[in-house]
């Protein structure tokens, strides 16, 4: 018999991190429109349901993203797969799988290997900070806002000490759980500082309100985040 303190095992916890494409198709009902919970420059996010009822968020990376799809996929998997922090969204699985398809190329039909890249995260029911603060009428009390500010700063401090620079921090990329705990998400543009000294500023579309706090980690971080609230 399991100890009372032992965590309940879920279907997801027994699966390999590299998930089959057919498994993710089934969990999202073939990527049904009704399952879409968000869209962005890097792809579309679907709600996935595991056989035991557990919910996950499945991001299908777009072909026309600001960064090549393979590069965005690699950034997310390499930079956050092993991270464990209350204020960083948890990456629970991924899929990079090719299938042979007939495609039109220069006026001819050819058989080619077409790859799909998908990332699976913990599901955060409250959605983004953008949605909770700026879309519709927000009655969020100040103490909740301040707790979110502190959580974001704690997450940034953790990343900067590695050091990972997020490069695209904005309200849309901060998700909230049912307790309104913030979790930094969307690491497609992130950089492991020291591994690569290239910051591609012309390609980025920063939120000016939080640019300074993400790229110049100083004691002014808290002040910068207070401004977006």
Residues with a catalytic annotation lie at 168
Q: What is the DSSP letter of 96?
A: E
What residues contact residue 179 under an 8 Å CB cut-off, 6+ apart?
none
**Distance from C-alpha of 1 to C-alpha of 144, rounded to nearest angstrom:** 40
**Distance from C-alpha of 165 to C-alpha of 182, rounded to nearest angstrom:** 18
100: Cα separation from own chain's centroid: 28
Contact 2, 46 (CB under 8 A): no
Q: Which residues of 34-54 are buried (b: 16+ CB within 10 A; e: fewer)?
A: ebebbebbbbbbbbbebeeeb
């Amino acid at each position: 018999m399991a100890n009372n303190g032992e965590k309940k095992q879920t279907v997801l916890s027994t699966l390999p991190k590299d998930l089959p494409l057919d498994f993710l198709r089934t969990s999202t009902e073939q990527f049904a429109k009704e399952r879409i919970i968000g869209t962005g420059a890097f792809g579309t996010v679907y709600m996935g349901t595991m056989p035991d009822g557990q919910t996950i968020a499945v991001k299908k990376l777009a072909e026309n993203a600001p960064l090549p799809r393979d590069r965005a996929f690699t950034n997310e998997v390499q930079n956050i797969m092993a991270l464990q922090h209350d204020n960083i969204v948890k990456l629970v699985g991924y899929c990079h799988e090719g299938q042979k398809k007939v495609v039109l190329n220069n006026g001819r039909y050819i058989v080619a290997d077409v790859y799909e890249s998908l990332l699976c995260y913990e599901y955060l029911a409250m959605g983004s900070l953008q949605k909770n603060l700026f879309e519709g009428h927000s009655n969020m009390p100040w103490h909740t806002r301040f707790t979110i500010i502190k959580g974001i700063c704690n997450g940034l401090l953790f990343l900067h000490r590695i050091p990972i620079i997020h490069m695209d921090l904005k309200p849309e990329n901060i998700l909230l759980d049912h307790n309104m705990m913030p979790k930094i998400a969307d690491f497609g543009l992130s950089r492991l500082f020291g591994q690569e000294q290239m910051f591609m500023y012309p390609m980025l579309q920063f939120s000016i309100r939080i640019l300074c706090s993400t790229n110049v980690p100083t004691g002014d971080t808290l002040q910068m985040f207070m401004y977006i609230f």
